[in-house]
Amino acid sequence: MSDYLLQMNGIVKSFGGVKALNGIDIKVRAGECVGLCGENGAGKSTLMKVLSAVYPHGTWEGEIVWDGQPLKAQSISETEAAGIVIIHQELTLVPDLSVAENIFMGHELTLPGGRMNYPAMIHRAEALMRELKVPDMNVALPVSQYGGGYQQLVEIAKALNKQARLLILDEPSSALTRSEIEVLLDIIRDLKAKGVACVYISHKLDEVAAVCDTISVIRDGKHIATTAMADMDIPSIITQMVGREMSNLYPTEPHTVGEVIFEARNVTCYDVDNPKRKRVDDISFVLKRGEILGIAGLVGAGRTELVSALFGAYPGRYTGEVWLDGKPIDTRTPLKSIRAGLCMVPEDRKRQGIIPDLGVGQNITLAVLDTFAHLTRIDAEAELGSIDKEIARMHLKTASPFLPITSLSGGNQQKAVLAKMLLTQPRVLILDEPTRGVDVGAKYEIYKLMGALAASGVSIIMVSSELAEVLGVSDRVLVIGEGQLRGDFINEGLTQEQVLAAALSQSGDTAHNKNNNDRPGAVGDARQ
């Protein structure tokens, strides 16, 4: 008997003649957590789809040995029966069904005659949630009543209920808060102690370092190295991933900040479900030509609501004025905003950024389609020329512009959404969490692009939950807390502690930076 629970040897998978995986080897022991790292498009998710039989045996080359026996699964139900369970990046829950029904979906407990045994399912679901340290969760309620963190835990309970011996977690923390991530990592440690093996795929290398025993790095579909975490640190993982040392994670492009060109005045957003509650409370600020303005704050502070309202995409009621070049502009709908020169890359690319049924190229030219239209026809040649240029500029990894956009990795989809908005040649570009689910190398490219845009005179507003990122790329930082403006800081010697202190402060008076007082039209006018 081998001491490995799982061995994947020489895995090769091609799409249309392009090798997505080219001879990859992975080994996992029982009770071991292997961190699978690599850039977007390196082949991590493809490899896991081969393992879980999303791509059945026969559609790829190589062999999988599971518990000492060859595994030739043809469907996901076969791999689940063997004890291999994958939790995808995009949750697969049915919102309107209860927590217990979601946990038992496809494996329902029945009474004689085929009726559902709800009491038994609820009892077992409660036991599973206690195991996952969520004893107070009402498993009879619809899963839509709970936030992203809890839904992630329901996915894990679903996997445990299938008696998982190997749990594959694909970007499990991309939608979780810091405290929820800590709970998740504790759960993985408990599972390891019970002998459950894990494969953890994440771009958040601090999590990988905290919970993984071994690190396997793949790059461009090839296996680079497998090393014990004890012999590694985060910089050496990055070096293996991108093939070069990255001493500077936040490249700075020299750019001059000009005069004030954009103003947001008295923006107030009301809660969609509770119109009496303000999600954003009377925020005003200015933006200069070629300036990168970072917006920081805790989760739920109202940052996304603020920028959505500026772009005309906030679903609830809102008030406020948007000025460009000293004139008020109409931004009541996204189309009007784009025509006025204000563009936004949204946070939720799956729901708001892409049209899944269209190809990569069609998604890129969506906002400027009228420029290629003559009467009722599209000039396909001119459109394709523009698409090829954008793919080259964004270093977008795709075998063809005609492939469905959903075939790309998350980071490459993000680049396509970014390319779509850049084609409109915006004066002001809003980026809401532009690097979520994006690897270190692609992040670096996005930061370089932001610097180049600022140097060409484009003004950028960037919302990010990562404070290090905000401080790494911004010229100026706005801090928002509980829907109010808590601080406006020039980013010179600014620390994460100062930003957090401002976000948590109750009054804006203490948060305003002293070196802003000499600036005309300072944002200190936004009364707290």
Q: How confident is the model at residue 241 (pLDDT cuts 50, 70, 90)?
A: confident
Distances (CA, A) of 237 to 189, 214, 233, 240, 264: 21, 11, 6, 5, 42
Q: Is 195 left (phi over 0), alpha (psi -120 to 50) or beta?
A: left
Tell whether the model's pLDDT for residue 519 goes beyond 50: no
Q: Helices in 162-287 by DSSP H: which ranges?
A: 178-193, 205-211, 234-242
From-to residues of CATH 3.40.50.300 in the chain: 6-242, 260-341+426-525
Query: Tokens 């070096």 identify what position?
Result: 239
The three-class DSSP label of residue 42 is coil
| Helix-helix angle 178-193:148-161, to 10 degrees | 10
328: burial class by Cβ within 10 Å (0-12, 13-18, 19+)? exposed
Summarize pLDDT for 98-117 with one digit per residue, the tens. 999 999 988 888 888 888 89
Query: What are the structure tokens assigned to 381, written together?
Result: 């040649």
Tell whether the model's pLDDT for residue 81 goes beyond 50: yes
pLDDT of 244 reads: 62
Query: What are the structure tokens assigned to 425, written together?
Result: 């040649």
- DSSP 8-state code for residue 29: -
pTM for this structure? 0.66
Query: Tokens 């479900």 identify what position?
Result: 273
How far is the C-alpha of 469 from the C-alpha of 443, rounded, in Å?
10
**pLDDT average, residue stretch 250-272:** 89
- DSSP 8-state code for residue 458: -
CATH 3.40.50.300 describes domain 260-341+426-525: yes
Summarize pLDDT for 121-161 with one digit per residue, the tens. 999 999 988 888 787 888 899 888 877 678 888 888 888 88
pLDDT of 321 reads: 92
Q: Helices in 35-83 by DSSP H: which ranges?
A: 44-51, 76-82
How far is the C-alpha of 188 from the C-alpha of 198, rounded, in Å?
8
Summarize pLDDT for 26-36 with one digit per residue, the tens. 999 989 999 99
Length in residues, the chain: 528
**pLDDT average, residue stretch 296-303:** 81
The mean pLDDT value of the chain amounts to: 85
Tell whether the model's pLDDT for residue 171 goes beyond 90: no
Q: How confident is the model at residue 524 (pLDDT cuts 50, 70, 90)?
A: very low
How far is the C-alpha of 300 from the C-alpha of 148, rounded, in Å?
13
Q: How confident is the model at residue 327 (pLDDT cuts 50, 70, 90)?
A: very high
CATH code of the domain made up of 6-242: 3.40.50.300
**pLDDT average, residue stretch 338-364:** 87
Query: What are the structure tokens assigned to 463, written together?
Result: 């919302």
The three-class DSSP label of residue 508 is coil
pLDDT of 522 reads: 35
- DSSP 8-state code for residue 256: -
